[in-house]
Structure 1
Amino acid sequence: MRVHFIVHEAFEAPGAYARWARDRGHTVTSTRLHAGDTLPVTADGIDLLVVMGGPQSPATTTAECPYFDAVAETALIARCAAAGKAVVGVCLGAQLLGEALGAPCLRSPEPEVGSFPVTLTEAGRRHPLFAGFDETFDTGHWHRDMPGLTPDATVLAGSAGCPRQIVAYGRFLYGFQCHMEFDQDIVEALIASAGRELAALDDHRFVQRPEQLRRNDHRETNERLALFLDRLAADRDTA
């Protein structure tokens, strides 16, 4: 499988997504927008597109962030979806996936930063790519917004702070508002990048302080993510 990552910032690295792709022997390519890379023009050469998070929003303009072009990204995502490619959007990537399919993102009821439980909906419990998952499990979070919903979208998991944590937009199209890819290196990079923004969120009930963020163990969540990706890859291969 040919896996292509769109990375907006060095501190929003693919983490467990990239480890899964390497461990399975998939061909891995990346567009590091923060480093000046150019987006692919077509979906050719991509079987799975993984769009990572970032501090931007789908409304961020190129005047505000010259290397982030939401219009170009949503166009690429739409081309991949139309071509039957698999697309996984993470945080900002999930919001861009929704936008590409015609569903504008929204503000989440609560900001979430840290490790908190998400709960599978009835549809999530019945979904074959999540079979055997615990109904409720802890995962990483670092967001203020959430993806929009198309008429055909199905919410597979939500949390106390955000009702749209995992969304299925189609057989091969998934948005993860949560961060199942987190590891210690990513968390440290996010803490370093957040600065005063993180301190300003200190009074919110779903925002953990840096000392707690560093104690969170994401290994079981990484294993769940790998299982989901194995199943997605197998489903895509049989299509």
Structure 2
Amino acid sequence: EALPAAREFDGLVSLGGEQSVRELGAHGYLEAEVGLLREAAEAGTPVLGVCLGGQLLAHALGARIVRLPRRTVGWRELRPLQAARADPCFSSLPEPAMALHWNEDCFSLPPGAIELAAPAGPACEAFRHGDVAWGIQFHPEVDADVLETWYRSEAGWLEDAGVSEAEARAADARHLDAQASLGAALFGAFAAVVRERASARVRAG
């Protein structure tokens, strides 16, 4: 089934998944999503890509997607760069903040994009391309229920990352409450951008 055109949306959020941008040929629907995200970014439709969604957006904008030396699972400090101070989404984030990572791929900074956070690993952590397209590597959408599902279904990730389940759960207990504030701030700011853009289009006729 073909995806709708980007102009039919006020905004797009592309979330994570177990697939890899390095295997687009095996997932035709992801190739279609890459095209949709590229179309949206070029049209000025607000886009937020999270983990796999951020990698899809970065790929659509010309970035490299590479496999990490080892899987990354756990919490790392989110360190906004100076450009984040004036960013419509990142300027609203609480500081200091810890960000949850659960990934095996990463993206480089797309050509022409602005880096918004210091890298937590070997590649880009967060960027904005143009005025309203954001890609992030971390998981602000995840809560305790989602993590519990991951612990049950993705136990091999912890071993690959060199992290015990006890260590991971202890870190979750320290950071999950603040994670809710981080997610609410980021998604709330993005929703405000979507509303503002949609209202401007209505006024312009």
Q: Same fold (TM over 0.5)?
A: yes
| Corresponding residue number in structure 2 for 1:85 | 45
- TM-score for both structures, normalised by structure 2: 0.81
Which residue, out of 183, 190, 193, partners 1:232?
A: 190
Instruction: Name the aligned partner's letter for residue 71 of structure 1.
Output: E
| Corresponding residue number in structure 2 for 1:164 | 124
Q: SS where residue 89 of structure 2 aligns?
A: helix
Whether the aligned pair in 2 keeps the contact of 1:107 and 1:146 (CA below 8 Å) is yes
Q: Measure the CA separation in 2 of the matches of 1:125 and 1:112.
A: 27
- TM-score for both structures, normalised by structure 1: 0.71
**Does 2:179 match 1:221?**
yes
**Does 2:37 match 1:70?**
no
Whether the aligned pair in 2 keeps the contact of 1:133 and 1:224 (CA below 8 Å) is yes
**Does 2:167 match 1:212?**
yes
**Does 2:21 match 1:58?**
yes
Deviations 1:56-92 (A, max 9, x none): 21121454xx5x5332110111122233211111111
Give the drift of 1:160: 3.9
Whether the aligned pair in 2 keeps the contact of 1:125 and 1:135 (CA below 8 Å) is no
**Does 2:84 match 1:124?**
yes
Q: Please identify which structure carries the higher strand content.
A: 1
Gaps of 5+ in 1: 1-37, 203-207
Structure 1's 134 and 159: CA in aligned 2 closer, same or farther, altered over 3 A?
Answer: farther
Whether the aligned pair in 1 keeps the contact of 2:79 and 2:117 (CA below 8 Å) is yes
| Corresponding residue number in structure 1 for 2:202 | none
Which residue, out of 119, 140, 145, partners 1:185?
A: 145
Structure 1's 98 and 134: CA in aligned 2 closer, same or farther, altered over 3 A?
Answer: same
Instruction: Name the aligned partner's letter for residue 224 of structure 1.
Output: L
**Does 2:13 match 1:40?**
no
Q: Measure the CA separation in 2 of the matches of 1:195 and 1:110.
A: 15
- After TM superposition, the structure 1 = structure 2 runs for residues 10-21 of structure 1, keeping only pairs within 5 Å, are none
Instruction: Name the aligned partner's letter for residue 158 of structure 1.
Output: A
Instruction: Name the aligned partner's letter for residue 194 of structure 1.
Output: E
Which residue, out of 131, 134, 139, partners 1:174?
A: 134
Superposed structure 1 runs of 4+ greater than 4 Å apart: none
State the percentage of identical aligned residues: 31
Which residue, out of 153, 159, 171, partners 2:113?
A: 153
Deviations 1:172-221 (A, max 9, x none): 1111100111111111111222233432332xxxxx32223334142322
Give the drift of 1:104: 2.4
Greater mean deviation of Cα atoms: 147-156 or 38-47: 38-47
Instruction: Name the aligned partner's letter for residue 211 of structure 1.
Output: A
Q: Please identify which structure carries the higher helix content.
A: 2
Q: SS where residue 185 of structure 1 aligns?
A: helix
Across the two proteins, how many residue pairs are aligned to each other? 194
Give the drift of 1:161: 2.6
Whether the aligned pair in 2 keeps the contact of 1:117 and 1:159 (CA below 8 Å) is no
Q: SS where residue 59 of structure 1 aligns?
A: helix
Give the drift of 1:162: 4.4
Deviations 1:28-55 (A, max 9, x none): xxxxxxxxxx562322432221111122
Give the drift of 1:110: 6.0
Q: Measure the CA separation in 2 of the matches of 1:78 and 1:85.
A: 10
| Corresponding residue number in structure 1 for 2:100 | 140
Gaps of 5+ in 2: 198-205
Give the drift of 1:143: 1.1
